[in-house]
Structure 1
Amino acid sequence: MTKPQRSAHSIPIVYPSPFVLRPGLAVLLALILAGCRAGAPPSTPAVDADYLACRTAIERVYYSQRQEAPPFEQVFTPEVMQKRVAEELLKERLLAEVFNQRIGDDELSMEWDRIRQTTQAPQVLAQLEAALGNDLARIKACLVKPILVDRFLRDAYANNTALHQAEYDEANRLRQRVLAGESMRAVGGDRYSEVIYDANAKPVAEPPEPGTPQVIPLNAMEPEIKQVIEEQLQQPGDVSQVIVGRDDFKLLRLTDRRPDRIALELLLVPKRPFDDWLNQERQKRGQ
């Protein structure tokens, strides 16, 4: 059996990495603040005092941008910060131990340069630098590294074959049922949908009503979809191979192909969510 691999055929809906930074420090704030939980269980491990102080200083700068917020100490208690930092360090361990990836100084430098060049909040960035004593080593370790660790860990998890083998096998079993004559709608259940690419369609911002096809302008077809159609879906009834996406495995079945209109059936087999896996790893380590 061919193992799933990330390729140019990963379609049909683009799922951007939740933690790929876009220009603007506002997104950086969202990334760092995401996932904070109140309170800390007794099993939360001790963390390095200097790193904890750095991260607290960063959060204080971000928090100062809020309007009419309660005092910082009420929200980011020492217990909250220690738990948050412990989770960041856990992610770094998982990246190294499970996926054999470590972030080097060159990567940190490139990311810091990118942040400085693209930020839309230079005053806040200057405050962050000042809060860390304008120390480049602390900036890289405390500000930049947690972001890259989270991004790389999510990417590594999404693209790991072994961690998603069960879902890949399920997608292949469903494909065999479709090839044997069962309808894709019956096989897919609530994971089934339809999409129509029409030359006369207008862009629509709202999602379609449940049970109705999504209609997309033909000239807005994703290049990945076009490639799969050209290589695998020549005639109505053709079924694609299992397509490896970031968050799921996909099957496509061609139902109509004309110069001005292409209709597809879509079946998704979701991968196990990253947060579920992370929670399992956290529990293994008593956190």
Structure 2
Amino acid sequence: MATAGGGGIFEQDIGDWQAAQACYGPDAITSRRAGFMRLLEAAILEEILARRAARPITRADYDRESARIDAETRAPDILACVKKRLGGGGPRYERVFVRPILAQRFIREYVRNDPAVQAAAFALRDGALADIAKKKAFKEIGVARGLAWSTAAYTAEEDTSAPKGAEPRRLWSPLEAAFIEEHLKVLKPGEVKPEPIEDETAIKFVRLIKTEGEKYYFETLAVAKLTTEDYLKSVKKLPVRINDRELREWVAAIKGNPLLAPAEIAP
């Protein structure tokens, strides 16, 4: 039906995906198009992982992920239905149900951590660390290196003391308390958190400015990272051939799906 690099998508795959989705109930999306898209995304990402990232999905990966799903599922009846419809949890289950999960997770892990992919961000990180070691001000570092600088004030608990009729209180989130506990509570005013906070989109340095009761004032210096979406736009195009005309025309017209960015769809 379709190929992405050296990988293929077959009618059996779509039928299996539809059968598995039906286990989620009458409101589940089971269309042929949705199944093809899910499997096409997985095939593209798997090919990039194997050929560009040198990170193929291995037998051990499938075993670990299948065990994790078994242990953590909150819907054992649905999982049992999926496995039953896909040959009892064997190759068909892994190909249609487990592989898309692993492909998306691994590409994000690769982009987030690979030194070559994140070379520019890691260089800025190291430069900022050197500046911080020299006691330079966060704002000064941000201006000099083109980094995002900001200040904020978080509280461990919501402030309910404002009288009725006063100006609306600042919206509070429990995430503020979690951030204080994890990143600010151990710091003294003026201290910088030793290890930067890193996620998929940024590397952040945090400095505690002062505390007033339960309120923590701090500043942040953020290094933007190359996102998975931007990485997929930058990689060498992957040849994709879709033999089904209706699906080919549908996919070719789609704009804005970052997981399809590497695909060069043959006419």
TM-score class normalised by the smaller sequence: 0.5 to 0.7
Question: 1:106: how far off?
Answer: 3.2
Q: Find the counterpart in structure 2 of residue 164 from structure 1.
A: 118
Q: Find the counterpart in structure 1 of residue 20 from structure 2.
A: 61
1:7-18 correspondence runs (5 A): none
Find 2:151's aligned residue among 194, 198, 209: 194
Question: 1:149: how far off?
Answer: 2.4
Q: Which amino acid aligns with 1:193?
A: S
1:1-287 correspondence runs (5 A): 48=8, 50=10, 52-63=11-22, 65=24, 67=26, 72=30, 75-77=31-33, 81-134=35-88, 136-171=90-125, 176=131, 180-181=136-137, 183=139, 187=143, 191-198=148-155, 201-202=157-158, 216-217=176-177, 221-226=180-185, 229=187, 234-236=188-190, 238-239=191-192, 243=196, 245-247=198-200, 248-257=202-211, 262-281=216-235, 283=237, 285=239, 286-287=264-265
Q: Is the 8 A contact 1:57 1:131 kept in 2?
A: yes
TM-score scaled to structure 2, two decimals?
Answer: 0.63
| Structure number with larger C-alpha Rg | 2
Q: Is the 8 A contact 1:184 1:265 kept in 2?
A: no
Q: Which amino acid aligns with 1:202?
A: E
SS at match of 1:272: coil
Cα RMSD, aligned residues only: 4.4
SS at match of 1:256: strand
Higher strand share: 2
TM-score scaled to structure 1, two decimals?
Answer: 0.59
Aligned residues: 228
SS at match of 1:264: strand
Question: 1:245: how far off?
Answer: 0.6
Q: Find the counterpart in structure 2 of residue 6 from structure 1.
A: none
The verdict on how the C-alpha distance between 1:121 and 1:216 changes in structure 2, with shifts beyond 3 A counting, is closer
Segments of 5+ residues of structure 2 without an aligned counterpart are 161-168, 240-263
Q: Which amino acid aligns with 1:194?
A: T
Distance 1:103 1:141 in 2: 11
Q: Is the 8 A contact 1:203 1:216 kept in 2?
A: no
Identity of aligned residues (%): 20
Question: 1:264: how far off?
Answer: 1.1
Between 141-150 and 275-284, the greater mean CA deviation after superposition: 275-284
Q: Is the 8 A contact 1:172 1:242 kept in 2?
A: no
Q: Which amino acid aligns with 2:97?
A: L
Q: Find the counterpart in structure 1 of residue 247 from structure 2.
A: none
Q: Is the 8 A contact 2:150 2:220 kept in 1?
A: yes
Distance 2:28 2:74 in 1: 23
Q: Is the 8 A contact 1:184 1:267 kept in 2?
A: no
Question: 1:240: how far off?
Answer: 5.5
Distance 1:244 1:222 in 2: 14
Q: Is the 8 A contact 1:55 1:143 kept in 2?
A: no
Q: Is the 8 A contact 1:61 1:127 kept in 2?
A: yes
SS at match of 2:220: strand
SS at match of 1:263: strand
